[in-house]
Each structure stands twice: as structure tokens, then as C-alpha cells.
Structure 1
Amino acid sequence: MRLCIIGTGYVGLVTGTCFAEVGHQVVCVDCDAAKIAALQAGQMPIYEPGLEELVQRNKAAGRLDFTTSTKEGVDRADIIFIAVPTPPLPDGSVDLSFMEGVSRDIAAAMTSYKIVVDKSTVPVKTGEKVAETIKRYCKARVEFDVVSNPEFLREGFAVEDFLKPDRIVIGVRSPRPVAAMKELYAPFNAPIIVTDINSAELIKHAANSFLALKISYINAVAAICEASGANVEEVANGIGMDKRIGRAFLNAGIGFGGSCFPKDLSAFIRISEDLGCPFHLLREVQRINAAQMDRFIKKITDTLWVLKGKTLGVLGLAFKQNTDDIRMSPAIELCQRLLKEGARLRVHDPKAMPKARAVLPDVEYVDDMNAVAEGCDALVIATEWEEFKKLDLERARKTLSHPILFDGRNLFDPAEMERLGFIYKSVGR
């Protein structure tokens, strides 16, 4: 099938590339000429495991192309995906200006029937607004359908999630586009749920808010574990074996971040309030998440007393492992708060250091994770990269001024760290 993907961020680029991988003809559109030129030259604007190889393979096979022209993309496609940013506004609502602008561009370029698919995460009833906008600005007066097709991609695992989805949600206003959408997704051999368009839009926000709730729930339990001498990992394993609960998203830490959970949670809260049904439970999820960082900072200050003038090593800058994304990263917030207290920082991240330099200019970047601890008063783990579990702990203990390690991701065993001679502080244990 012939597809156009408008927007080449984490969602759009993965979506277009994976559709090409299963045999569809795809053109990706972006207004950023430098990004399109880089993609045409085989250079990646983001890090996502496995994505670069797929882009190069499908581009070489002639199934994947890139352009800055929306008109070209629309002309070359039967199905058009909107995958543009929907950033948060200060009041928690969503900035839909990119959605509106792209809808107008699509309308101006349409000369025949098209299926327009909202892939971006948007508030409920956005599909109605997209349809109204296209109808208003389409001079050719051709027929079209608007579909909601929310994405459920985890950064760091996005390619795997797209190629092997749990489910595919298709929200429609009429039955006309259903057959084409089912044909489009047939190669993925996954359950397809067809709903009304408003339900599809709510599914995305409800899903992300529930996952955020699970994280805040286990972080609240972690505080109780610390107060009672229990181990949050054993508690999480015990409740996670219940099929009704599940073990995923029950890892205690310094809180969730990234471009999805905080934004989608705030948006769902605002949506519920606008509908006259305030979702007070989600306000508490936000409060617990913010408090978790406060508790971790207090753990550091209680141990080191005064941070001013001390040097701390920080492992991790991305908001999670397997990505270079630092948007709303707890690790970045942690660094900023430590700097505000007067600490000096030596930092390392396997992928996120180039992007972090723009927001953390006054820290020392270290290429070797095992060299970060040199001359530091303590070491802090802020992101759960798998390679950090292979840290040379003996070298770290010897090169730290004091053998103190604050583990915000519970990567190490407390008993083993004590045996190695560390003062070891983790979360909920």
C-alpha cells in the first residue's frame, strides 16, 4: 500500500520504516530540511535500537523515501499518517497547533479520496477537529476519512513493539476505511480492535496513565518498605505473579519521565476536568512521582550532609535505557538539583551525552563509565542501562574518595555491595 508519514520523530520515523519493512511503499515528510537531508544521507536524528539498519535497508530497496513536501507526500499516498509533536502547555493541556497546521496542509494538497490517520497522541475529540479542518480547507471538495490509530511504542524497544504489537486500535467515524486499515496491518498478525474514534483516542491516554499509576504505586510501596525494613523487589515479585496485576512497571526508582507519561498524564487530567469528571487519582500519581525525586535527593543529602563543593559521579542521563531521549528525564532533573546544591558533577551515558550538553553545560562528560568515579565523593546511578550492571565495582570503590553509591534504579544487590565495602543506598530496600 502507498503511505505518507508526516513527522519523522520517534513515532513517525519508526512507523514509516516498519511499514516499509513489511512491504508497503512509504514516503516520510518533515518540515525540517536539515533532518530530511540527513536521513537521505543515511544519518539518524535519533537513537533507537535496530532502526538505523532498517532505514538503510528499506531506503536501498526503494520502499522508503524522504521529502520536505507535504504535497508530494499526499500525492504519492492513499493513507496519510499524522505523527507530529503534541507538546504540553503550562496548564497541562496539549498544544495542537502542529496537528491543525498539518491538517490544513493535507487539505490543500488533496485531490482524491484519502484516509487520514491520527498517529500522534491527542486529546479525545481531536479527530473531529481534524475532520472539520480538512473539510474546511480542502478546495478540491474530495471525500476523505479520519481514523485514530494510537501508537503503543516504548522508546528503546519501539521497532520490536511496532513489528510485534500486542494489539492494533483503529478508531473510525464510518466503516469505509476499516478494510484498508485491516489490510495495512495484516502483515503484523496482531489482534485488531475497531472502535469509534473517541474511544480510540481515550485508549491511549488511559493506557499510559494506568502504567504511570503502577510506577507511582510501587514507589509509594517502596517508601513503606524502607520504613518497615522490607524489600520492595520481593514485594513487587510477590504481587507481580498475580495474573491480574503483572510484574511489568513495578520497578521502584526515582520516578517516571520521558516525553509520554508526564505529558499524557497531565493531558488526561485536563481532559477529565474539561469534561466535568475530575480524575483525582491521577493527581495523586503526579504527586507521588514528584515526591520520589525529593526522597532520593534527601537520601543523598542525609548521607553527604553538605553537597556544596563535593564532586559526584552520575551514571545515566537519558530518561530510560536504550534511548538518547532526555526530554523530561529524571536523571537530568537530578543533575540540575545537585548542581543547584553546589555539587560538581562527572557524568556518563552510553547514548545521551550529545543531547545533554545543551541542558547541562556545566558538568564534566566522561566517555568511560568506569572512569566516572575517579575523585568523586559518591557515585549515583540515575538510568537503568543494562551495561551499568557490569560496572567495575572494585575500581569504583578504590577511586571514590568515599565508597558511597546511591542506586536510583536498584541495579545491584545490597548484600553484595556491603560485602564489597560500599555504603550503598537504593530505593525501597
Structure 2
Amino acid sequence: MHSAVDVIRAKRDGHRLSEQQIDWVVDAYTRGDVADEQMAALAMAILLNGMDADEIARWTQAMIDSGEVLALGDVGRPLVDKHSTGGVGDKITLPLAPLVAACGAAVPQLSGRGLGHTGGTLDKLESIPGWRAALSLEEIAAQLADVGAVVCATTPTLAPADRKLYALRDVTSTVESIPLIASSIMSKKIAEGTGGLVLDVKVGSGAFMKTEPLARELAETMVRIGGAHGLATTALLTDMSVPLGRAIGNALEVAESVEVLQGGGPSDVVELTVALAREMLALAGITDVDPAQVLASGKAYPVWERMIAAQGGDPSADLPVAKHVEEVVADRSGVLARLDALAVGVAAWRLGAGRARKEDAVQAAAGVRLLAGLGDEVEAGQPLLELHTDTPHAVEGARAALHSGLEITAERPARGPLLLDTIRGA
């Protein structure tokens, strides 16, 4: 007979948990037989003492087993998905899902909402009039067969243990545990029933993982979990020290995504979209299509229109526009040498683009538009950013967030690559 105290004590004292202990504690917590304070103690013990590869694989399986696995069946195309660890201006799912579908694969993208300075894919899409996030399993499968791409909310029956534990980690300062992050992400993606998974693991100030060694450890852990569960998984390490693209905020990012799908848009958004599409198509076994050409030609845009319309949205409708727009101007002439992703993300959040608690509402039109990029020469008084909000009193807080995030110097900054490394499964 297992007890929560025995499991907590074992991990507290640095021992590895047995398969039976892991299976029991995750199941008992999901059912409510293990109390939140007990799971909080175990999460802290895992944060402090870690887990080995076998423990992480088993913990992930126990999370999957807490709910049901989506049985999407044969949708007529290979299934492949992508997950990003989140960043500032990270709208890549929006152009990526229709692009990969236009190249012949099917993308079942079950997404989430934003919390803090990182935006949520569902929040962005909900700025499109009429679009709905909640779909039934039957609707997901039908849309995959018809359109080839679906972006929607996760179903309540998918890894319910993760939903409980995720909320608990948020309030007990145990979010940073790599075993718990990796198993949280991978349990949902494996339960989704996809055939291949590409991970975009962000590194830098605007990312969850601030340093490359930590991001690499997380990426390698998730790729290893994928392999242990028979899911072909590839991870890209990508830079998140500056925002992606020029738009940060829900409707602003949708508009920029449409530009990309029509063959334009910022070069960094295009570069990352194409890089992830290449990896997804490789896992799907599609090697005779160049996603760069498909994106540049605008052929992915009609797929976007069908994907939005299938979920009740009007792809031709005007997007919400903020009631109040203010500019941030350069205080001197020189080169924009610092454009910090975290500072810009916090500014967008304070303007109303994000939420502090999961039950908060977001403003569809709020956010930041970048008028100058890192390394650009600027003149004193030149507008650098636009602040968009429906609540003008929020501007002061946004300006304060940007204060240390913008720097103009005489020296041009060294800019590293957007794509830092690729980690593939064995």
C-alpha cells in the first residue's frame, strides 16, 4: 500500500521513485486522494532533486494515462504537430499550420492561452470576429481531413493530471523544474495522437529558459521522452532575446501572420516558419515540397482562410483596432543596440494584451508595434514603437517597462543567429 508521505520522503531524500510509486501518486492526485499540499511538497522535492530519464518517462506516461488519448483515425494525411515554449511576438503557429497543410501534412494544433508576458495562440485567434476555440473530437478530425489544419483548445479529457499539477506549480514556485516542464508538454502532445512533433525551444530574456544550457537540457529531455513513447521528435533551439517580427499583441500578430501567409512579412518570422515547416515535413515523410517556395507564393493563404472559416471566423473581417495609440520616440541619435524581448513583452501585457491570472480577460487590440529593429540607425525624436491599448492609463506602466529595454548607442550590436541548434531523436 502506497502513501503520499512515503513518496514525498523518498524524493526528498534523493531516491529515485519506482514505477509503482509514480503510477500511484499521479493517479491518486488526479482522483483527489492525494491533497494539493502533498503534491506541492513532492513537486518541490522533484525541483530540488531532479528525476532520471526513466522516472521522467514513467511520470509522463502516468500523466497520459490520467485521461484519454485522442483517436483521430485516418485523416488521409500524415499527422505532425509543433509546440513552442513561448516568447514575445511568437505568432509562428498561425502561418505555420496552414503552410504545412498546404504542403500535404495535417496539423492538429491543440493550443493554450497566454499568461504573463508570453502570448497565447488562442487569444490571438479569438481577435478574429466569430472564431471559436472549443471543438469536439469529431470536429477536429473532420477539419483535419478537409482543411489539413486545426488550431483549437485542448479537450478537458486530455491529461487531466497535468491541468491540476500545472495550476499547482504556478502558485508553489515549482514551475522551473525541467522534469515537470518536459512531462507537462510531452504528456499533452503524446495524448494528442500525432505522428511527429517539432519543438521550438526558446532561449533568451523573453523566453522561459534564459540560458542556452538550460534550454538545451529541456530540449534534449523532451526529445528523449518522445523517443521513449514512440513519437518522432525534433527540437530547434531558437533565439528569444529580441521580439519575433514587428507585432506583439493579439490582433496585431494576426495581421502580421496574414502578411507572411500572403508572401510578405518580417524576415525573422518567415525564416522560423520555414525552418519549423521543413522539420515537420521531414517527420511526415514529405520531402518533395519546398515550404519556402509555397510560403513566398501565397499558396498557404487560402488554407488559412478555410481554417479560420471552419471554426466560425470571418477571415476577411476587419480586426479590432485600439482606441488609444501612443509613440515611444528615440531620446538621441545613434543605433538601436538593445530591444529586449522581456521588456517589450511586459509592456504589451501592461497595455492589456496579456493576463496576470488565467481567469482575466485580454484586450484583442492591445499590444506593441515595433517601428525600428535591432541594429537600425535612428534619429533623435524618431518613433521607435507604437503602444496600442483601450485603457490609456496603462501607457505609463508600459513606458516604465520599456525604460531599461531600449538602448541607443554609437556602436552597432553583434546579432547572433535566430536558429541556434537542432536536436534530433536517436
Do both proteins adopt the same fold according to a TM-score greater than 0.5, normalized to the shorter chain? no
TM-score range, shorter chain: 0.3 to 0.5
The structure showing larger relative contact order (alpha-carbon pairs under 8 Å, at least 6 residues apart) is 2
Please say which structure displays the higher CA radius of gyration: 1
- TM-score normalised by the chain length of structure 1: 0.32
- TM-score normalised by the chain length of structure 2: 0.33
